[in-house]
Amino acid sequence: MKSKQAQYKEHFPKPEMNVKLHETQHGTTPEGKQLIRRGLVLLKDVKEGEVIFSEDPFVSSLFIDKEESDYCSNCLDSVTDFKSSKYCSAKCHKEAWSIFGGNVLYPEDKPEATSPETAQSQQSIRNAVNLAEFCKEKNLITPLLTVKLIGKMMSEEQQGTAGTLSEYSTWDHIDRFHYIDLAKPTDVDGEKIWFASLEQIEKEYKLVFALFNKTPKFDKFLTDERYMVIKGKFLYNAISIISENEVKKTEEKEKPKGEYFKSSTNKSREVGVGLYHIASYLSHSCEPNVEFKFGSLNKEKKAGSLLNVVAKKDLTKGDEIFINFVDTTLNKKQRKRILKEKV
Residue 103's nearest CA partner among 92, 114, 113 is 92
Give CA angle at 130 (128, 132), nearest 5°. 70
Mean pLDDT value across residues 265-293? 86
Residue 80: pLDDT band with limits 50, 70, 90: low
**pLDDT tens-digit series, residues 176-206:** 898 888 888 777 666 777 778 899 999 999 9
Q: Find out whether 85 and 106 touch, Cβ atoms under 8 Å.
A: no
**pLDDT tens-digit series, residues 34-75:** 777 789 999 999 999 999 999 999 899 888 777 666 788 888
**pLDDT tens-digit series, residues 205-218:** 999 999 888 888 88
Angle between helical axes of 332-342 and 224-237 (0-180°, round to 10): 110
CA gap 264, 284 in Å, rounded: 10
pLDDT of residue 145: 92
CA gap 252, 124 in Å, rounded: 29
CA gap 249, 266 in Å, rounded: 14
Give CA angle at 47 (44, 53), nearest 5°. 60
The answer to whether residue 235 scores a pLDDT higher than 80 is: yes
Residue 268's nearest CA partner among 296, 248, 254, 253 is 248
- Reported as type and span, the H/E element at residue 96 is helix 90-98
Q: Coil, helix or strand for 275?
A: strand
| Residue partners of 43: CB distance under 8 A and separation at least 6 | 15, 18, 19, 20, 317
Mean pLDDT value across residues 234-262? 71
**pLDDT tens-digit series, residues 309-325:** 999 999 999 999 999 87
Please report how many Cα atoms fall inside a 13 Å half-sphere around the Cα of residue 23, on the Cβ side. 7
Domain ranges of the chain: 8-342
Chain Cα centroid distance, residue 292 = 15
**pLDDT tens-digit series, residues 127-145:** 888 998 899 899 899 999 9
Q: What percent of the chain has pLDDT over 70?
A: 72
Residue 119: pLDDT band with limits 50, 70, 90: very low
Residue 98: pLDDT band with limits 50, 70, 90: low
Residue 78's nearest CA partner among 295, 299, 240, 252 is 295
